[in-house]
A and B are shown apart, each in its own frame.
Chain A
């Protein structure tokens, strides 16, 4: 459970006539992670070539996809499942039928759309000329006259009058459109004058007739084309309704055929045989081997090449040598195996990085500590209950990994919030169940009931309804957070120690991780000393705690220096900053409680006592205020809990960068496989 699944590398060799059966078998096992055959492979081998089924299926798939595009089919929208047998029987005839039905329609649809954009383009050209309603025939065909049309930001009349000595004719439309007729001899002068007035020219459209009339004609034609298009769309929709499910299913079936037929591209091949290497989970090998002997008998040879251990060999490069490239250690795929609850947190591990084959999968630490941190930060029954409900709905309804991740966070975080809200802080919506202060609001005074102080007894220990308050016991909470941090970090270092042991051996682990563990424990003693001497009695006394702290820290640091060199000294202050980082748990709890206090004061003490409408108003302020805190809680508490895992804890042991175990497998959404 802690380490990823142990993996074995297998070799499959067989004759080519067994290839299709072997491929079907490999897919049905759903446990085989294929290693791509190196393209510059071993001598005598080439890359395999696709099965003959591939070319036919690809061709059909291509046609099918173009139909999907023409018919605008979105595969995910159809739920109907069709059996593979039915698809195989009717594929060709149905495709022919669909092609016959849509070919003419799609062409005319395309030509109409082209026509439509032509017409619209022409209208855009003509539109400005509507404003100076002159027959388009009048714009051209002169031997001594030049015509300029366009937009002028400033009225050019006065400037033109000066420049052209009245030898011009100017038509002004609305919104600064002008048309200017000038003798050819003055054309250049006119252009220069206009450009000084911020003029931009527009081309004069072809044709004859009044622009306004032409635009009206074009518009009626557009309406006509649009109507025809609607008819065509209706016809396409009808075809879509009839065939969409079939097309989606056939697409899926053909894709599967193509995928399977192309698997030989990842294998090595000789003229008559194939060879394939793959990773399988070690414990599954016997069942895989059974399946092979049952399905393909003795015709295919199967062998375990090695079962990967987790130690890393230090490939010491023996100098640069082009003849002998240093063999890069191949990455073993990682399959994370968890129960249902912990499995939900895998999302958060993968969000950072997939763990490597030879390290502890940190998902379980997230599953344990994330809710605890979240609960300590929010720690309020009033927010915990809606968090839990939202999370539960999310887990039931949501399909995508992201939303499921968020729902997981809310559900488990919510449960922890209720737990800590009830037993540790004893409050709901920032209001305590019963307040120690006389006169302060509490649920007892608000509801006028008496709530029990002691909930139940476990042996001699009385479980109370709240021990501390977020704003009242700040010192205690800060102190507690530091210890939570130290415990969390020590756990991280222990996991790191274990990881290094399996990777590089005990000696490396002692120097690389035990050293920091000693420093951390020394720091813990240092905290004890500091609290006792510096804060409580304000004096610096040399007692046993300080001596233990110094000895452990110095020994640890020396060991770390031996392992990592001088950088260890630079890293040493990180111990302090890492531990202090956990005080954010108390700080975020405080900020929530502070905001809640403010809203409660405004709503319940300042507005609500007014009675009547003020009571409603107070309730409104109360609801809006707490909704805001609630949403902020998701962001701040959620993000900071994740951060404490990712940054503080994972840095102590997690390397990441593993390859996901990605077995060959067929997922059918629109089809039902038929047994052969």
Chain B
């Protein structure tokens, strides 16, 4: 039989890994647009940064789930 703990570990890894890919895809597009906007107007750095990091919350969700799984292992 498959070890239950091992499955939990795999689940935890998937949670953070997939969430990371998701925020990566989202941030890539926003980041590129933000750099483009900054090239036109340097003052937009702050706003660009904020918009770029918004999807980061997704990976935090993944991380929280994986930590919760890990603690319950």
By the criterion CB–CB under 8 Å, are A583 and B64 in contact?
yes
Interface string of B45-73 (1 = CB under 8 A from A): 11101100110110011011001001100
| Interface residue from B47, B57, B67 paired with A352 (Cβ < 8 Å) | B47
Chain A 340-370 near chain B by CB (<8 Å), digits 1 or 0:
0000000000011100000000000000000
| Cα(A353)–Cα(B56), bound, Å | 22
**A353 partner residues in chain B, CB cutoff 8 A:** 43, 46-47
| Residue A191 CB within 8 A of the other chain | no
Q: Say whether A352 contacts B46, CB under 8 Å.
A: yes
Main secondary structure of the interface of B (DSSP, over half): helix
Contact B53 A587 (CB under 8 A): no
B70: chain A residues at CB < 8 Å are 474
B71 and A474 contact, CB distance less than 8 A: yes
Chain B residues closer than 8 Å to A642, beta-carbon distance: 49
As a 0/1 sequence over residues 434 to 464 of chain A, the CB contacts with chain B under 8 angstroms (1 = contact) are 0000000000000000000000000000000
- Residue-wise interface mask of A (573-609) relative to B, using a CB-CB cutoff of 8 A (1 in contact, 0 not): 0000100110110010000000000000000000000
- 4 smallest beta-carbon distances between A and B, as pairs: A352-B46, A351-B46, A577-B57, A643-B53
| Contact surface of B with A, Cβ cutoff 8 Å | 43, 45-47, 49-50, 53-54, 56-57, 60-61, 63-64, 67, 70-71
User: Contact partner of A580 among B46, B54, B64, B71, CB < 8 A?
Assistant: B64
- Other-chain residue from A351, A474, A475, A587 in contact with B60 (beta carbon distance below 8 A): A587
Known: A475-B71, A583-B63. A646 touches B46 (CB 8 A): yes
Residues of A within 8 A of B57 (CB): 577, 580-581
User: Besides the contacts A474-B67, A478-B67, what 12 more A-B pairs have beta carbons closer than 8 Å?
Assistant: A352-B46, A474-B70, A577-B57, A580-B57, A583-B63, A584-B56, A584-B63, A587-B67, A642-B49, A643-B56, A646-B49, A646-B50
Give every chain A residue within 8 A of B64 (Cβ-Cβ): 478, 580, 583
Q: How far is the CA of A583 from the CA of B70 in the complex (A)?
A: 15
Q: Indicate whether A647 reaches chain B with its CB closer than 8 angstroms.
A: yes
A295 CB to closest chain B CB (Å) equals: 37
* Chain A, range 547-588, C-beta contacts under 8 Å to B: 577, 580-581, 583-584, 587
CA distance A142 to B47 in the complex (A): 72
Q: In the complex, how many angstroms separate the beta carbon of A429 from the nearest chain B beta carbon?
A: 24
Once bound together, how far apart are the Cα atoms of A646 and B50, in whole Å? 7
What is the CB-to-nearest-CB distance from B49 to chain A, in angstroms, rounded to a whole number?
Answer: 7
User: What are 23 sample pairs from A and B whose C-beta atoms fall under 8 A apart?
Assistant: A351-B45, A352-B47, A353-B43, A353-B47, A474-B67, A478-B64, A577-B61, A580-B60, A580-B61, A580-B64, A581-B56, A581-B57, A583-B63, A583-B64, A583-B67, A584-B56, A584-B60, A587-B60, A643-B56, A646-B46, A646-B49, A647-B50, A647-B53
Shortest Cβ distance from A114 into chain B, in angstroms? 36
Complex contact B67–A643 (CB within 8 A): no
Q: Which residues does chain B contribute within 8 Å of A647, judged by CB atoms?
A: 50, 53-54
Give the distance in Å from the alpha carbon of A557 to the alpha carbon of B50 in the complex.
26
Residue in chain B with minimal CB distance to A651: B50
In the assembled complex, the CB of B29 is this many whole angstroms from the nearest CB of chain A, namely: 18
A581, B57: Cα distance in complex, Å: 6
Contacts of A643 in B (CB 8 A): 49-50, 53, 56
A residues less than 8 Å from B46 (CB atoms)? 351-353, 646
Closest residue of chain B to A574 (Cβ to Cβ) is: B57
Cβ contacts under 8 Å, B45 to chain A: 351
How far apart sit A643 and B54, CA to CA, in the bound complex (Å)?
A: 9
CA distance A601 to B4 in the complex (A): 28
Given contacts A475-B71, A580-B57, A581-B57, whether A587 and B63 have CB atoms under 8 Å apart is yes
Which residues does chain A contribute within 8 Å of B50, judged by CB atoms? 352, 643, 646-647
Give the complex CA separation of A189 and B39 in angstroms: 54
CB proximity of B41 to chain A, nearest CB, Å = 12
Residue of A nearest to B54 (CB): A647
A646 partner residues in chain B, CB cutoff 8 A: 46, 49-50
Instruction: Report the minimum CB–CB distance from B10 to chain A (whole Å).
Output: 19
Report A472-498 CB contacts with B as 1/0, cut-off 8 Å: 001100100000000000000000000
A643, B64: Cα distance in complex, Å: 18
CA distance A646 to B67 in the complex (A): 26
Chain A residues near B49: list those with CB within 8 A.
642-643, 646
A353–B67 Cα gap in the complex (Å)?
36
What chain A residues lie within 8 Å of B67 (beta carbons)? 474, 478, 583, 587
Shortest CB distance A361–B (Å):
15
Closest to A582 in B: B60
Alpha-carbon gap, A587 to B67, bound state (A): 9
Interface residues of A in 629-669 (CB under 8 A from B): 642-643, 646-647
